[in-house]
């Protein structure tokens, strides 16, 4: 057994099971037979899923895998993503159905749009973009707050065949400029600002800085900047009257015609480029194309959440700056004629119960969020959510990172009232859609486990040599067959695409996700995060996810982050940063010793943290991801790296001040 397999074979045991609600199981969209049907003829199964969409021209071939890893799906077919998300529903008589309930952060600032209204808005924006010189194949960057115009902008780009790259509004001007140059962006769509934690947060200045950097540093010219007026704050303006690129949205979009005849594009026409972190420091532009991606997003949204579009109200809390917002806030839900919710602000503004109030007000029935958000609510306790009526909820989802068992159980109990299945989903920017997840009408939920691949997807946990590991063992998570929503390449860099994702198991033609995983004794999958997050302590390989789960299972702990720090004696040592639940106060003078003993009991002496820091907060991006590399900097007494993407950079000062309090004693 290799060291990586050893890592992951001594996981915490989990014996709790939650069977599907009988009523949901009886009416479930997908039942047990779907697994066998998909396995017997995978291409026929995916062809069946593609029939969910409107194709102007039917495909000739389901999959062309003649030149792996470069896949082509639904070869010869033509379609339009915006038509599939809007026009066909209006034509089917669903124009009066609400497409999106939008909730702004300021109290009372809200708007609901029907499918007919959203179609008209998208047609106006498509006409306006065309008038600004955007043509099929031109790239458009979208740097926006969570407002309806952001969705309109994405769909307008899709309608005219201009691939979009949405850049998260929390990123710096440097990060924006890097993406604009790499993608060759012609037009940027932005806003004067958005609302964040009760105040207006500017966006246009970052665009101005990015545009200048693109031109001065790289010689790249952004031709137009289309600006939505959201907050009304003053912005520097370089408009057409002075020969500049700036154009107000309300001047060109709101005046445009609602008549727009869309073109139908080849199934492999680029839909969007989504940038994700790269190990070299240069972001990777993940390319998704139209037919396969939309098929994967629509199918998984319908199957994994047991969607009933006639009655469900669905809310994915992700920002559209991330792939979750693309697949499960925009493209998947709208392709399925869903009534969705989009919220501009933070979960605790203007009150800590803001999310639960939205669930109550809009009678949300399907709710999809990240474990980091769930753990932050655990910290506050159950009293706040208990104030709200959330009886409308019937399915809960988790996304973004493995969810520890205690957070899963809290989520199901406090938010779901012990009646809702929790779908713990694993997927990536690169996969485009959910790959591994329970099915709410089939699976006996197991806290912390993503369970098995969904019908149509083939995954395994394998050794360094590519052999499938037995139950009870760990290794590398791979996808062993192509799937429709898979990334097609890294924008402008086919060699990097091959080397990053396909080189480890090139001979087998497997996609290596970069994650470690384990099969438990039942053969169910536990995803344990990036292989890079595995620590080597005295020759033993330990998963940070496992130790974090052990810490959070302690009744006084709300959240934990674990890193490996250099150690002269053991090679690496475990260093933990812990947030206590509000009701735990400061935890008492023995809390560190208590937590170390708890980890020792749950996992074993080798996993006992060398240091445990009780901290008020963890360094997180505005999307909720914990920045463990910054914690590693602190643990190893290095200068802390770039903090510009953090929601609150002052958190690092608080942590740094306390880290030298000394090592916890054995």
CATH number where 159 lies: 3.40.50.12780
Q: Which pTM value belongs to this model?
A: 0.87
pLDDT digit string (tens) for 196-211? 888 999 999 999 999 9
249 with 278, same domain: the answer is: no
* 533 belongs to a structural domain: no
The total number of residues shown for the chain amounts to 666
pLDDT in tens, 151-196: 999 999 999 999 999 998 888 898 899 999 999 999 999 999 999 8
Share the mean pLDDT of the chain: 91
DSSP structure string for 307-327 = --TTT-EEEE---TTSHHHII
Structure-token match 């980890």, residue found: 599
Q: What are phi and psi of 155, to 5 degrees?
A: -70, -30
pLDDT at 541: 66
For 25-76, how does the pLDDT look when each residue is reduced to its tens digit (9 = 90+)? Answer: 999 999 999 999 999 999 999 999 999 999 999 999 999 999 999 999 999 9
Give yes or no: residues 71 and 104 share one domain.
no
Number of CB atoms found within 10 A of residue 122's CB: 28
CA distances to 104, 179, 620, 624 from 648, in Å: 21, 23, 8, 11
Rounded to the nearest 10 degrees, the angle between the axes of helix 544-552 and helix 591-602 is 120
Least confident residue range of 82-96, 230-244, 313-327, 561-575:
561-575
For the cut 80, the answer to whether the pLDDT of residue 581 exceeds it is yes
Helix (H, G, I), strand (E, B) or coil at 469: coil
Point out the least confidently predicted range of 17-31, 250-264, 561-575, 645-659.
645-659
Beta carbons of 143 and 189 less than 8 angstroms apart: yes
Q: What is the pLDDT of residue 647?
A: 64
Measured distance CA(326)–CA(633) in Å, rounded: 32
CB 327, CB 297: distance < 8 Å:
yes
Name the residue range of residue 558's domain. 538-659
H/E element, 398: strand 395-398
Alpha-helix runs per DSSP H in 85-186:
88-89, 115-131, 148-160, 173-183
Residue 10 confidence (pLDDT) above 70? no
Helix (H, G, I), strand (E, B) or coil at 549: helix
Spatial distance between the Cα atoms of 6 and 408, rounded to a whole number of angstroms? 26
Helices 33-40 + 42-50 axis angle, to 10: 110
- % of residues, the chain, pLDDT over 70: 94
Which H or E run contains 369? strand 366-369
335 and 478 co-located in one domain: yes
Pairing of strands 474-479, 313-316: unpaired
Backbone φ and ψ of 509, nearest 5°: 70, 30
Nearest partner of 190 among 255, 141, 122, 260, judged by Cα? 141
- 664: confidence class by pLDDT, cuts 50, 70, 90: very low
Asked whether the predicted pLDDT for residue 666 surpasses 50, the reply is: no
Task: Determine, yes or no, domain membership for 665.
Answer: no
Query: Which of 497, 528, 559 is the last residue before a domain boundary?
Result: 528
Residue 238 shares a structural domain with residue 318: no
| 641 assigned to some structural domain | yes
pLDDT above 90 for 416: yes
- With 60 as the cut, is the pLDDT of residue 280 above it? no
Q: How many domains does the chain have?
A: 3
CATH number, domain with residue 639: 3.30.300.30
Report the pLDDT value the prediction gives residue 174, as an integer from 0 to 100.
87
Q: At which of 263, 297, 321 does a domain end? A: 263
- Asked if 378 and 518 sit in the same domain, the reply is yes
Tens-place pLDDT, residues 648-657? 667 787 777 6
CA distance 252 to 127: 9
Q: Is the same domain home to 114 and 221?
A: yes
**Could you please report the per-residue DSSP string of 137-148?**
T-EEEEE--SSH
The token pair that represents 500 in the structure block: 């990053």
Q: How many whole angstroms separate alpha carbon 258 and alpha carbon 87?
A: 12
Which position has the token pair 């199934």? Answer: 267
How many angstroms separate the CA atoms of 438 and 305, rounded? 10
């Amino acid at each position: 057994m290799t060291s990586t397999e050893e890592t992951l074979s001594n996981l915490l045991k989990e014996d709790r099971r939650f069977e599907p609600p009988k009523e949901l199981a009886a009416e479930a969209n997908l039942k047990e037979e779907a697994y066998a049907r998909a396995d017997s003829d995978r291409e026929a199964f995916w062809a069946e899923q593609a029939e969910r969409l409107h194709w102007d021209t039917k495909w000739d071939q389901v999959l062309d895998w003649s030149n792996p890893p470069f896949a082509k799906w639904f070869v010869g077919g033509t379609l339009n993503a915006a038509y599939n998300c809007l026009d066909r529903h209006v034509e089917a008589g669903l124009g009066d159905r609400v497409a999106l309930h939008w909730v702004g952060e300021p109290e009372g600032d809200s708007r609901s749009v029907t499918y007919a209204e959203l179609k008209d808005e998208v047609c106006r924006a498509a006409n306006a973009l065309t008038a600004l010189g955007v043509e099929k194949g031109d790239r458009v960057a979208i740097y926006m707050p969570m407002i309806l115009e952001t969705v309109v902008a994405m769909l307008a780009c899709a309608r005219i065949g201009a691939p979009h790259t949405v850049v998260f509004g929390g990123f710096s001007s440097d990060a924006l400029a890097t993406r604009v140059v790499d993608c060759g962006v012609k037009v940027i769509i932005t806003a004067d600002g958005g609302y964040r934690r009760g105040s207006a947060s500017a966006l246009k200045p970052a665009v101005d800085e990015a545009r200048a950097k693109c031109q001065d540093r790289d010689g790249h010219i952004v031709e137009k900047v289309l600006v939505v007026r959201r907050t009304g704050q003053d912005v520097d303006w370089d408009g057409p009257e002075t020969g500049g690129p700036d154009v107000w949205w309300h001047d060109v979009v709101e005046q445009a015609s609602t008549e727009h005849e869309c073109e139908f594009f080849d199934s492999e026409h680029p839909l969007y480029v989504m940038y994700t972190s790269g190990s070299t420091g240069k972001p990777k532009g993940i390319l998704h194309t139209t037919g396969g991606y939309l098929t994967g997003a629509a199918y998984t949204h319908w199957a994994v959440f047991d969607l009933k579009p006639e009655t469900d109200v669905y809310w994915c809390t992700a920002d559209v700056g991330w792939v979750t917002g693309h697949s499960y806030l925009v493209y998947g839900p709208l392709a399925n004629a869903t009534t969705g919710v989009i919220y501009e602000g933070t979960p605790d503004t203007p009150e800590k119960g803001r999310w639960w109030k939205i669930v109550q007000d809009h009678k949300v029935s399907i709710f999809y969020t990240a474990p980091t958000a769930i753990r932050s609510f655990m910290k506050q306790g159950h009293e706040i959510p208990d104030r709200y009526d959330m009886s409308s909820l019937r399915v809960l989802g988790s996304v973004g990172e493995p969810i520890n068992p205690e957070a899963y159980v809290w989520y199901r109990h406090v938010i779901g009232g012990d009646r809702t299945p929790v779908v713990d989903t694993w997927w990536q920017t690169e996969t485009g859609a959910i790959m591994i997840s329970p099915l709410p009408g089939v699976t006996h939920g197991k806290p912390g486990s993503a369970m098995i691949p969904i019908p149509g997807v083939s995954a395994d946990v394998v050794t360094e040599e590519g052999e499938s590991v037995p139950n009870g063992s760990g290794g590398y998570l791979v996808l062993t067959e192509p799937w429709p929503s898979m990334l097609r390449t890294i924008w402008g860099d086919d060699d990097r695409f091959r080397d990053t994702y396909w080189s480890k198991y090139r001979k087998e033609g497997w996609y290596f996700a970069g994650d470690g995983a384990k099969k438990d004794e039942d053969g169910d999958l536990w995803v344990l995060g990036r292989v890079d997050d595995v620590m080597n302590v005295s020759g033993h390989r330990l998963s940070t996810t496992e130790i974090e789960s052990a810490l959070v299972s302690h009744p006084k702990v709300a959240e934990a982050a674990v890193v490996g720090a250099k150690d002269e004696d053991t090679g690496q040592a475990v260093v933990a940063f812990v947030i206590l639940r509000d009701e735990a106060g400061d935890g008492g003078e023995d809390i560190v010793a208590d937590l170390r003993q708890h980890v020792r009991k749950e996992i074993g002496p080798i996993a006992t943290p060398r240091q445990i820091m009780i901290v008020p907060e963890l360094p997180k991006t505005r999307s909720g991801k914990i920045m463990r590399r910054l914690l590693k900097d602190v643990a190893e007494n290095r200068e802390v790296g770039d903090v510009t993407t953090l929601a609150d950079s002052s958190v690092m000062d608080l942590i740094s001040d306390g880290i030298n309090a000394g090592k916890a004693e054995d």
